Structure 1
Amino acid sequence: MTTYIPSLTLPGAIFNSPLASIALPIALGTAVGYSTRPKDTKTTYLSWTQPPLRPPPWLFGPVWTILYGMMGYAAHRAVFLGTSPFSSPLVISAAKHGATLYTIQLGLNLAWMPLFFGLRRPVEATVDAVALFGVNAYLAYLWGTSVDATAGWLLVPYVAWLGFASYLSFGTGYLNGWDLRDPETKGKGKGKAL
């Protein structure tokens, strides 16, 4: 089991508010998405060799918005219900441990796009995606079996999408020789990030 680390965990006020729990990941995800210049990202995405089953670029925004909302609501349910004074000490402990994991996974999630599209570091982005998948699979299990089944099930689509995203990240890196730099910069400063 993980450890509850207050300094690495979002404030309880966020988890206690369904609106704040849902709005925070959507707002942060949107901010990160727009910080990488969506028009440039779409063009870049289409220029790389992609693995089979690559979704169209327009699909990512709506899918991530829904998934961010679901994960935010799952976090609200698990922490709010799990830390209730009527909960057992084991449930409270699992809810708090999950709150720390949730905060860590949110940071990992927000790091992927700058790693992949901003820095063009597919190896690091793929490691991030796989770690994100593992943390969330465990979080869905922890919250679903120890705190609130609904919270666990709300994370299942997110975990499935993260598995698919890991495949896309790995596949794109592999098919492009782990070098996602612009074609005109590929011959210069081999191995350096943009």
Structure 2
Amino acid sequence: MSPLPEVLFDVARNPFLAVGLPIGLGALSGYVTGQSTKSNWFKTLTPPPGNPPREAFGPVWTILYGLMGYASHLTVRAFDAAVTPGGTAQADQALQLYYGQLLINILYMPVFFVAKQKEAGLAHLLALTGTVTAMTVKMHGLSTPFSTTWFLAPYCAWLGYATYLNGGYVFLNR
């Protein structure tokens, strides 16, 4: 039996809810912390080289949230179609990692922007990157119509870039 509530499986079973949940949570997190990105604290920080304009983050994250949501849908389909206990367990573990990384992801913006904790934000991103890497590996081993890796590779790449940016803010603003 999975430690995840059945409702989380049901959300992932519906492709619209699977995609909409992370997009909605991301939008809510962005809305709550949006004013902080316009604060004097953030405006006075020295950005690292290659820092994109603020307006780029919303569209990029919307796409990434949609892709990760669809990967969760493919994973629950693999869970439902698994014929061995090992296949069920792997898909279940992948979904646990998915929901865990989603929580870590959503909490990043309040940590960095609202609490103004650059170092804690960097630690958060490192934990997120490790969790997403583990999730991607677990999902990759599942038999799905499309490899979830294609949906998660942009997210992994962006997390590397986000970690660079956060590390740059820490280094340049000691």
- Provide TM-score, normalisation by structure 1: 0.82
What is the deviation of 1:152?
Answer: 2.1
Aligned residue in 1 for 2:96: 100
Equivalent residue letter for 1:74: A
Structure 1 match to 2:141 = 145
Q: Which has the higher helix share?
A: 2
Describe the SS at the equivalent of 1:51. coil
Kindly provide the amino acid, as one letter, of the partner of residue 87 in structure 1: V
**Match of 1:154?**
151
Deviation at 1:160, TM superposition (A): 0.6
1:43, CA displacement in angstroms?
Answer: 5.0
Task: Give the structure 2 partner of residue 185 of structure 1.
Answer: none
Task: Give how far 1:12 is off.
Answer: 1.1
Which AA in structure 2 matches 1:175? L
Unaligned ranges ≥5, structure 1: 178-194
1:40, distance to aligned residue in structure 2 (A): 4.3
1:96-121 CA distance string (max 9 Å, x none)? 00111111100100111000000001
Q: Which runs of 5+ in 2 are unaligned?
A: none
The structural deviation recorded for 1:58 is 0.5
Distance 2:37 2:82 in 1: 48
1:10/1:100 contact within 8 Å kept: no
Aligned length in residues: 172
- Which residue does the alignment assign to 1:191? none
- Kindly provide the CA deviation profile for residues 41-87 of structure 1, in whole angstroms up to 9, marking residues without a partner as x: 1455443101111111110000000000000000111112x112453
Aligned pairs for 1:1-194 within 5 A: 4-6=2-4, 11-36=8-33, 38-42=34-38, 44=40, 45-80=42-77, 82-148=78-144, 150-177=147-174
Partners of 1:10 and 1:109 lie apart in 2 by: 20
Residue 170 of structure 1 deviates from its aligned partner by: 1.2
Local SS of the residue matching 2:123: helix
- Following superposition, the deviation at residue 158 of structure 1 comes to 0.3
In the alignment, the residues of structure 2 paired with residue 88 and residue 152 of structure 1 have an alpha-carbon distance, to the nearest angstrom, of: 22
- Dislocated runs of 4+, deviation >6 Å: none
Q: Which has the larger radius of gyration?
A: 1
Q: Is the 8 A contact 2:37 2:113 kept in 1?
A: yes
CA distance in 2 between partners of 1:105 and 1:39 (Å): 24
Decide whether the 8 Å contact of 2:94 with 2:139 is kept in 1.
Answer: yes
CA contact (8 A) 1:94 1:147 kept: no
